[in-house]
C-alpha cells in the first residue's frame, strides 16, 4: 500500500462531493435531518449530505483494499462496535462532511476527510475542500502533496504565532485562562470546528497552531498524518504520537517544532492537558 492509492481515493472523494454535497450547499437540502449530540446544549447535526457522501465513499473505498474494514462517522453513530476495528488490521476511516454545522448554515469551512490506518496507526490521509477543489494527500514516509505537488510547511517562525483554540471546552473560566495565557505571546482566535480546514491551514502557515480537545479518528487521523508528513508536528500534548484507537483527548497541531514546543509549554505551565472528559458527562 502506497501513494498509488491516491488517484483512486481522490476520484472517490471528488465524486462523493459532486453528487452528495455540492448540489445541496446553500439550499434547503443542507438542513439537518438529525442531531447526534448526547448532552443538552451541544449540537452535532447530520444532513442528508453526510449520509449520502459516506455511503458513496464506503462503497468506493471498500473495493480498493480487499478485506479492509471501513469505519465511517455516521455508521459508528448507529453501530459503535465498528470502533473495535480501529486498532487492528487495515481500516479506512471516513468523515464524509467535516464542519456539518457550517455547511448547514450555508457557510464554510467544511470538507471531506479519509484516512487509512494499519493496526491503529494512520498511514494514509486525504483532505478535500469541495468549494476550492484543493486536495491534500499524504502517505507515511512518502511526504505530503497539495493538488499533486510535493509540499512542505514554511520554516519561518512568526514573531507572534496565530493560534486557534477549540470552543469545545465546557468550563468557560478555564478556557478564558487558557486564552489569556496564550495571548501573552500569540494572536488567538476560535477554531471553526472543522479539522478539514485547520490541518491544511496550519500546514500552509495560515494558522501556526491549533489546540484540540476532542480527537475522534475521523476528524484527525488524516490531518495528523498530512501535517506530520509535510514537516509540521501534530501529537498529544505530552508528545506521544496520535493513534486512531486512542480514546484520550487533547492534541496540539503546529506548523513548526518550535511553535509546538511553545504551545505545549504554555499548557504545561497551566497544568492543562486539553482533556474535557472529567468536566462533562460526555
Taking only the tens place, the pLDDT of each residue in 142-155 is 999 999 999 999 99
Of the listed ranges 67-71, 97-101, 170-174, 260-264, the least confidently predicted one is 170-174
Peptide bond into 218 cis (omega under 30): no
pLDDT in tens, 69-116: 999 999 999 999 999 999 999 999 999 999 999 999 999 999 999 999
Residue 170 has pLDDT above 80, yes or no: no
- The reported pLDDT for the residue numbered 279 is 33
pTM of the model: 0.93
pLDDT classification of 174: cutoffs 50, 70, 90? confident
Beta carbons within 8 Å of 66's beta carbon, 6+ residues apart? none
pLDDT classification of 282: cutoffs 50, 70, 90? very low
CA 224 – CA 138 distance, rounded (Å): 10
- The reported pLDDT for the residue numbered 274 is 82
φ/ψ of 64, rounded to 5, equals -80, -35
Pairing of strands 187-190, 162-165: parallel
pLDDT classification of 217: cutoffs 50, 70, 90? very high
Partners of residue 55 on adjacent β-strands: none
- The reported pLDDT for the residue numbered 269 is 87
- The reported pLDDT for the residue numbered 278 is 34
- The reported pLDDT for the residue numbered 2 is 63
Helix (H, G, I), strand (E, B) or coil at 63: coil
First to last CA, the chain: 36
| C-alpha angle 2-8-12 in degrees, rounded to nearest 5 | 135
φ/ψ of 121, rounded to 5, equals -105, 125
Which class for 105: exposed (0-12), middle (13-18), buried (19 or more C-beta within 10 A)? middle
Residue 3 has pLDDT above 70, yes or no: no
Contact 14, 256 (CB under 8 A): no
Percentage with pLDDT > 70 across the chain: 94
- The reported pLDDT for the residue numbered 166 is 84
pLDDT classification of 167: cutoffs 50, 70, 90? confident
pLDDT classification of 280: cutoffs 50, 70, 90? very low
Helix (H, G, I), strand (E, B) or coil at 61: helix
Indicate the helix (H) or strand (E) that contains 98.
strand 90-98
43-56 average pLDDT score: 94
- The reported pLDDT for the residue numbered 38 is 65
CA 210 – CA 51 distance, rounded (Å): 28
Contact 126, 9 (CB under 8 A): yes
Task: Read off the C-alpha cell for 63.
Answer: 473495493
Mean model confidence pLDDT for the chain: 92
CA 96 – CA 51 distance, rounded (Å): 8
Burial 57-83 (b: 16+ CB within 10 A, else e): bbebbeeeeeebbbbbbbbbeeeeebe
Task: Read off the C-alpha cell for 62.
Answer: 471498500
259-278 average pLDDT score: 81
Helix (H, G, I), strand (E, B) or coil at 229: helix
Amino acid at each position: 500500500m502506497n501513494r498509488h492509492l491516491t488517484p483512486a481515493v481522490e476520484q472517490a472523494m471528488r465524486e462523493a462531493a459532486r453528487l452528495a454535497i455540492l448540489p445541496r450547499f446553500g439550499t434547503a437540502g443542507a438542513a439537518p435531518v438529525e442531531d447526534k449530540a448526547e448532552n443538552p446544549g451541544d449540537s452535532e447535526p447530520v444532513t442528508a449530505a453526510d449520509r449520502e457522501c459516506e455511503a458513496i465513499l464506503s462503497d468506493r473505498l471498500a473495493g480498493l483494499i480487499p478485506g479492509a474494514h471501513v469505519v465511517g462517522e455516521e455508521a459508528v453513530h448507529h453501530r459503535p462496535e465498528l470502533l473495535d476495528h480501529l486498532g487492528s488490521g487495515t481500516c479506512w476511516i471516513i468523515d464524509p462532511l467535516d464542519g456539518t454545522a457550517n455547511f448547514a448554515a450555508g457557510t464554510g469551512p467544511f470538507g471531506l476527510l479519509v484516512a487509512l490506518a494499519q493496526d491503529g496507526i494512520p498511514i494514509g490521509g486525504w483532505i478535500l475542500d469541495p468549494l476550492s477543489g484543493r486536495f491534500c494527500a499524504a502517505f507515511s514516509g512518502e511526504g505530503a502533496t497539495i493538488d499533486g505537488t510535493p509540499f512542505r510547511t514554511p520554516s519561518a517562525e512568526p514573531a507572534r504565532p496565530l493560534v486557534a483554540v477549540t470552543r469545545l471546552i465546557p468550563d468557560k473560566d478555564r478556557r478564558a485562562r487558557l486564552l489569556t495565557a496564550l495571548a501573552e505571546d500569540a494572536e488567538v482566535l476560535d477554531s471553526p470546528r472543522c479539522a478539514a480546514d485547520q490541518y491544511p491551514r496550519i500546514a500552509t502557515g495560515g494558522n501556526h497552531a491549533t489546540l484540540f480537545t476532542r480527537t475522534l479518528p475521523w476528524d484527525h487521523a488524516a490531518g495528523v498524518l498530512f501535517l506530520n508528513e509535510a514537516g509540521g508536528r501534530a501529537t498529544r500534548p505530552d508528545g506521544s504520537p496520535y493513534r486512531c484507537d486512542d480514546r484520550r483527548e487533547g492534541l496540539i497541531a503546529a506548523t513548526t517544532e518550535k511553535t509546538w514546543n511553545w504551545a505545549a509549554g504554555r499548557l504545561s505551565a497551566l497544568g492543562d492537558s486539553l482533556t474535557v472528559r472529567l468536566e462533562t458527562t460526555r
